[in-house]
Amino acid sequence: MIHWSTLNTSIIIIIIITIVIVFIIVIVIIIMILLLLLLIIISIIISIIIIISIIFIIIIILIIIIIIIIIIIIIIVVVVVMSTSSSYSHYHHHHHHNIHH
């Protein structure tokens, strides 16, 4: 009986050790997988952030360019309208006056 009990305890110890080892291995594997996932997620997030920032930069640059173009067009239009309207009105007025006389 004593022999059997010692054998039993040794078997139990072996089982416990194997369970602990398996548990440790599983935990390590899980941690590794989690770390990998975390790395992948972080890299994805970083890439997304980079992509978004690039898109934002492009959009901002485009907006700035569009605004500049609009401002230039407005300035040109205003200048042209001012000059033509003033000269035209002047000319028209003068002409009109001449016709009247």
The reported pLDDT for the residue numbered 47 is 94
Tokens (6 digits) for 28 = 């390590």
**What string of pLDDT tens digits covers the 101 residues of the chain?**
556 667 778 888 889 999 999 999 999 999 999 999 999 999 999 999 999 999 999 999 999 999 999 999 999 998 888 887 766 655 555 555 555 55
Q: Per the structure block, which two tokens stand in for 75?
A: 């300035």
The total of other beta-carbon atoms located within 10 Å of residue 49's CB is 10
Collapse the DSSP code of 1 into the 3-class scheme (helix H, G, I; strand E, B; otherwise coil) and give the result: coil
Q: How far apart are CA 20 and CA 10, in angstroms?
A: 15
Q: Please give the span between the terminal C-alpha atoms of the chain, in angstroms, as a whole number.
A: 143
